[in-house]
Amino acid sequence: MQRAAILGCAGYAGQETLDRVLGHPGLELVALGSDSLAGQPAAALDPRLNGSLPAFTSNAEAARSGADVIFLCLDNDAAAAFQPPAGTVVVDLAGAHRLTDDAEADAWYGTAPGAWSYGLPELFPPQGPLIANPGCYATAALLALVPLAGSISGAVVDAKSGVSGAGKSLKTSSHAGSVLENLSPYAVGAHRHAPEIAQQLGMPVCFVPHLLPVRRGLLATCYVQTDADARALLEAAYAASPVVRVLPEGATPELVRVQGTDAAEIGIFTDGATGTTIVICALDNLGKGAAGQAVQNANLALGLDETAGLRLTGVPV
Amino acid sequence: MQRAAILGCAGYAGQETLDRVLGHPGLELVALGSDSLAGQPAAALDPRLNGSLPAFTSNAEAARSGADVIFLCLDNDAAAAFQPPAGTVVVDLAGAHRLTDDAEADAWYGTAPGAWSYGLPELFPPQGPLIANPGCYATAALLALVPLAGSISGAVVDAKSGVSGAGKSLKTSSHAGSVLENLSPYAVGAHRHAPEIAQQLGMPVCFVPHLLPVRRGLLATCYVQTDADARALLEAAYAASPVVRVLPEGATPELVRVQGTDAAEIGIFTDGATGTTIVICALDNLGKGAAGQAVQNANLALGLDETAGLRLTGVPV
Amino acid sequence: MQRAAILGCAGYAGQETLDRVLGHPGLELVALGSDSLAGQPAAALDPRLNGSLPAFTSNAEAARSGADVIFLCLDNDAAAAFQPPAGTVVVDLAGAHRLTDDAEADAWYGTAPGAWSYGLPELFPPQGPLIANPGCYATAALLALVPLAGSISGAVVDAKSGVSGAGKSLKTSSHAGSVLENLSPYAVGAHRHAPEIAQQLGMPVCFVPHLLPVRRGLLATCYVQTDADARALLEAAYAASPVVRVLPEGATPELVRVQGTDAAEIGIFTDGATGTTIVICALDNLGKGAAGQAVQNANLALGLDETAGLRLTGVPV
Amino acid sequence: MQRAAILGCAGYAGQETLDRVLGHPGLELVALGSDSLAGQPAAALDPRLNGSLPAFTSNAEAARSGADVIFLCLDNDAAAAFQPPAGTVVVDLAGAHRLTDDAEADAWYGTAPGAWSYGLPELFPPQGPLIANPGCYATAALLALVPLAGSISGAVVDAKSGVSGAGKSLKTSSHAGSVLENLSPYAVGAHRHAPEIAQQLGMPVCFVPHLLPVRRGLLATCYVQTDADARALLEAAYAASPVVRVLPEGATPELVRVQGTDAAEIGIFTDGATGTTIVICALDNLGKGAAGQAVQNANLALGLDETAGLRLTGVPV
């Protein structure tokens, strides 16, 4: 068993990571960090957590727990300021270490890139112990587009996400009265996942996110012009993947089949009127878009089975 | 007072049209047609309807009521088969008379175009007494794109609609278990509002609709390449409109401000990474996307005030 | 035209009151008070508000506008501290003046009762210019139970409300991630609308509210033991009411028919197994449960038509 | 490994049962019955199902598969007509075999009781190989009330359920347009789970169900008069249960923590005004309310670990 610590456990990403670690056959939870819950028992976060778990400590104390792997579920600033203990695998679920260009990192996150590698296992396996876990939107867009990168010159990415993607912090846009029975585009043409997609795809895309009145789940509808056989390229890219499922012709990704899981679904279509290729990717923003991918990255860095601890089975309605 | 009859009153479009007619200062309801409710009192449709209204008759009988205006809220086949009484204004809320090309009309609706004119008042005022009321998606896309038509060569239209857009008929895709906490693209690259948009815009577009877990409301996010000043063109197009509101720079359309109304909102953005122009239009699929526009068209054809009976005021949260 | 001022216009109750005042044939809006929006134009609250409205002022300034009626849409503390200008009708939509017993008022609101009268027009018409507008839950429970008061000795009131009932302020329980696809009982057996119901009904009730994943609407399911003919009593109580609709036997109140309106619906049932009488009342927590009732109370106090400005017509789906 | 067959696999209960069987360490799936999908591969039900599963057969053929346990996920009539193969454990998830009184069974289901025993493991462990799996509402009400049965003389059970409780069949009340942003009481005072609760509790209760705008999850708010220490009785009843969790004082059950699981949560409160005891039980109508309990019953009848295959771990947000 390798030892795992979670910092920032009280947020959505933290709790979801905890969920995966608790069910992981190769990881043992040694520290539960949360500055807001420090000193309280695990059940203070959720009554489903029982007394055998360690109590919450401060994040700083959790970082010194001697863990083999640390999951950083902090906000961008705290993640940027974090000093990784030597010899420890660290997976950063925030955005602080995703952009490798100095100017871009500074512009979008106020950070300086360091020795972190981007880890999206199917496309960009992590290259060292310090791993920048991709953004949820970026994961969906890249899964849909990277296999086509050689044959396209741009893309429109129209994305829709459940509200947990915006985190637990209190803001008007996440108030239920703003979300229920509504749909709202936001950060139109200016969202920080756009430079992340561009960096990994090798070209800029036009990216617009929309906030859905659902708790979790994300769908990206991607539009490209290409002469290539998109279906063949995507099927080849994910033929061996236990995580990404390319749907058969005519089948459409939707949120219900990926919610609560660490899987992604891809559907491929050709527009009858314009010949545009439409690639749709669905995933759970808290699963493959956050905690599931973080555990998958950690597994690779620790030499464990890639899908250990992931939620990939089952067919709930 | 001019006399109005509604055929197909038991469906969503029928009930919403009834709602507008009941509040209309210049229309008097003379017949409530519904083959399923024929013989029953108005309250059989909704307990809010009181005893002073006419009872339901068959649609055929309602058509013979001598009305000055008939609102056809029937399915496509029944609308196609309808024989308009001479001298009567007829607004068809179905799709049967929207496509003017023989082959397109036959391919998408199995109908033959006739003497009907397309009526989208701000852009294409109706030309005679037989009026094809636009589709909800087409209305949103056309409001966003027609003022730019001279300066673009195509568009991606990514649209999202509440479930009432699919009507009251029972089908698996409208079952609440398929809709709640879900988002599903459908008819991807093959929806019959695409040829309608193309016909009125003068060029094909790539159109993908998505089903939202909301009862009503529709939002179309449109992506175009243009060198023109999109904001200037759109503001000029709707400067005098009491129905279409172009939002100031930075403001984003969302469903909540148009639900239950006959208004539309338009927001205009430029993508920071690619320069793509993004025009977003929100409306209520049952309001400006159906019944509200039908009454607006009828007002024009009958010589009444264009917005009489429309729901355009108020600021509910 | 009588002159109206709204204080606390930026909250849900304030905006809904504004909505009714703007459509009111006998009221002219003379001041829009909001400490958070003071100095900004009306459109800062909502782009649907146009330039002909007064700009926001502080609440204190709005109170000095010389209005004939002031709508207090403030929090409980600010409402308690408010000094009514002499000769002005004031309708307090907060809870500060609802409880008339010194100890109860102090215990639940930290306030002292004054010269305010409780105004629930169908049951307790306001007795003077200072009117305490009832709570949303209390309104539903009282409409269901007061006509039966002489024949019951208690009641269970199981109530369910949309999230706007909790106001716009940011708290974890109103975060969309806490509300969507969830149902949560709260303040179980200890909600401050319970003493309000008891005070007006003349006996204590067991009251439990639940937070629904809907934006607006409230339904109270009330259980009583009685030998009286509940249907006859309730039908008699509301026979002449333009606001409260007693449904025919077998018909069930639901949220959809009252949302966005100032009406209430009541259904009456007898339990087959135990003979318990079940009275269900549905209303919109922001309509009859807040702003609609406030305007109705103001109309009575000002000598206007009782339903002027209310949203009572229409049959939207 | 014991052999399992599922009949009626295409419905909600069938698919959820399949989900548990696929993850069950002691069960091997040998037949997938569905009259509507017979002849098609498993993936026809859900693209997550892969090629190693048996294809669908008719229900009749699945019944002849020689399984050790058959899960009947049929409608009431088909379940009533089913002839259990000798020596096979059969768990009936429909209602056909729940009522043991001839007149009640006939009145509510048109069936005659037979050699089936009611199986609610924590309270009424199954007594033989033919097991009537409890209704979802009945499960919640009984978990809340049976430990108190000796000290109460009746109860009000106000229950709220997600739409999957009504099954996949197409009806107006399950149409998304009837469910979204709505709440509707139904079968008020006349639901067939009422006699089921009465039978197992030993006294009639007043039961009213409400349809929630959520996909899954059920909450029953139960009101009783008792002098007993309800908390002590309930904690004692479930102290050893891995499935039913009694929450600490002040903590409130809600849907989010039980959705997608086979667990139940119970909260206990005393009403401050009337002394009424309020017991609230939350569970997933498709988990502990259907498929989870069916597998739990099967485990007991087959001599397997009681919770094998159940979804009881994890703390997803």
D294 touches chain C (CB under 8 A): no
- Provide the H-helix boundaries in chain B: 12-22, 59-63, 76-81, 102-109, 136-145, 176-179, 193-201, 230-238, 292-302
Interface touch B175/D176, C-beta < 8 Å: yes
Name the nearest CA neighbour of C9 among C40, D289, B211, A147.
C40
Gap from B35 CA to chain C (nearest CA, Å): 19
Number of domains in chain B: 2
Q: Give mean pLDDT, residues B195-221.
A: 98
Q: Which range is least confidently modeled, A48-52, A283-287, B155-159, D12-16?
A: A48-52
Interface touch D276/C217, C-beta < 8 Å: no
Q: Give mean pLDDT, residues A208-235.
A: 98
Q: What is the mean pLDDT of chain D?
A: 96
D181 touches chain A (CB under 8 A): yes
Give the C-alpha separation, C56 to C36, whole Å.
9
Q: What pLDDT is stored for residue C293 in this prediction?
A: 98
C316 touches chain A (CB under 8 A): no
User: Is residue D12 located within the same domain as residue D126?
Assistant: yes
B19 contact residues in C (CB cutoff 8 A): 314-316
Distance of CA D303 to the CA centre of its chain: 20
User: Is residue C36 located within the same domain as residue C119?
Assistant: yes
Q: What is the mean pLDDT of chain B?
A: 96
Give the C-alpha separation, A228 to C288, whole Å.
60
Tokens 């003022």, residue?
B147
| Residues in CB range of D194: below 8 A, 6 or more apart | C272, C273, D204, D205, D207
Model confidence at A160: pLDDT above 80: yes
User: Is residue D161 located within the same domain as residue D275?
Assistant: yes
Establish if D313 belongs to a structural domain.
no
Q: Give mean pLDDT, residues B223-239.
A: 98
Q: Which range is least confidently modeled, B76-90, C99-113, C157-171, D208-222?
A: C99-113
User: Is residue A144 located within the same domain as residue A129?
Assistant: no
User: Is residue B86 located within the same domain as residue B50?
Assistant: yes
Confidence category of residue C52, pLDDT binned at 50, 70, 90: confident
Optimal mutation site among C245, C246, C317, interface B, most CBs of chain B within 10 A: C317
| Residues in CB range of C294: below 8 A, 6 or more apart | C13, C17, C20, C71, C91, C93, C133
User: Is residue D129 located within the same domain as residue D37?
Assistant: yes
Confidence category of residue A289, pLDDT binned at 50, 70, 90: very high
Q: What are the pLDDT digits (tens) for D60-83?
A: 999 999 999 999 999 999 999 999
Q: Which chains touch C (3 or more CB pairs under 8 A)?
A: A, B, D
Name the nearest CA neighbour of C293 among C62, C92, C85.
C92
Interface touch B176/D170, C-beta < 8 Å: no
Interface touch D181/C215, C-beta < 8 Å: yes
Q: What pLDDT is stored for residue A279 in this prediction?
A: 98
Q: What pLDDT is stored for residue C278 in this prediction?
A: 98
Establish if A308 belongs to a structural domain.
no
The two three-digit tokens of residue C31, written as one number: 């001041």
Q: What is the CATH number of the domain that holds A223?
A: 3.30.360.10
D22 touches chain C (CB under 8 A): no
Nearest-Cα residue of chain D relative to residue B179? D176
Which three-class secondary structure state does DSSP give residue C35? coil
Burial label, A250 (beta-carbon count in 10 A; 0-12, 13-18, 19+): exposed
Establish if B317 belongs to a structural domain.
no
Q: What is the CATH number of the domain that holds C92?
A: 3.40.50.720
Whether ipTM tops 0.85, in short, is yes
Containing C100, the helix (H) or strand (E) segment is none
Establish if A261 belongs to a structural domain.
yes
Establish if C199 belongs to a structural domain.
yes
Q: What pLDDT is stored for residue A113 in this prediction?
A: 81
What does pTM read for this prediction?
0.97
User: Is residue C72 located within the same domain as residue C150?
Assistant: no
Model confidence at D266: pLDDT above 90: yes
Nearest-Cα residue of chain B relative to residue D11? B177
B317 touches chain D (CB under 8 A): no
Establish if C316 belongs to a structural domain.
no
Give the C-alpha separation, B114 to A144, whole Å.
44
- Which residues of C, range 214-233, sit inside 8 Å of D by Cβ? 214-215, 217, 219, 221, 223
Active site residues of C: 136
Q: How far is CA D21 from CA D70, D169, D299, D307, in A?
A: 11, 23, 11, 12
Interface touch A180/C176, C-beta < 8 Å: yes
D185 touches chain C (CB under 8 A): yes
Gap from B47 CA to chain A (nearest CA, Å): 24
Model confidence at C51: pLDDT above 80: no
Model confidence at C225: pLDDT above 90: yes
C12 contact residues in A (CB cutoff 8 A): 177
User: Is residue D251 located within the same domain as residue D295?
Assistant: no
Q: What are the pLDDT digits (tens) for A103-114?
A: 999 999 988 888
D315 touches chain B (CB under 8 A): no
Nearest-Cα residue of chain B relative to residue A161? B183
Q: Given A136, A206, A222, A281, which residue is catalytic?
A: A136
Q: What strand order describes the sheet that includes A2-7? A: A56-57, A27-33, A2-7, A69-72, A89-92, A130-132, A117-118
User: Is residue B168 located within the same domain as residue B100?
Assistant: no
Confidence category of residue C180, pLDDT binned at 50, 70, 90: very high
Confidence category of residue B183, pLDDT binned at 50, 70, 90: very high
Interface touch C180/A12, C-beta < 8 Å: no
Q: What pLDDT is stored for residue D251 in this prediction?
A: 96
Q: What is the mean pLDDT of chain C?
A: 96
User: Is residue A124 located within the same domain as residue A24?
Assistant: yes
Gap from B112 CA to chain A (nearest CA, Å): 21
Burial label, A266 (beta-carbon count in 10 A; 0-12, 13-18, 19+): buried
Q: Which chains touch B (3 or more CB pairs under 8 A)?
A: A, C, D
- Provide the H-helix boundaries in D83-159: 102-109, 136-145
**B281 counts as catalytic:** no
Nearest to A47 among D22, D216, D245 (CB): D245
Q: What pLDDT is stored for residue B191 in this prediction?
A: 92
The two three-digit tokens of residue B264, written as one number: 């539309």
User: Is residue B126 located within the same domain as residue B184?
Assistant: no
Domain of A222, in residue numbers: 136-286
Q: Give mean pLDDT, residues A262-281.
A: 98
| Residues in CB range of A59: below 8 A, 6 or more apart | A7, A8, A33, A34, A35, A74, A78
Establish if C309 belongs to a structural domain.
no
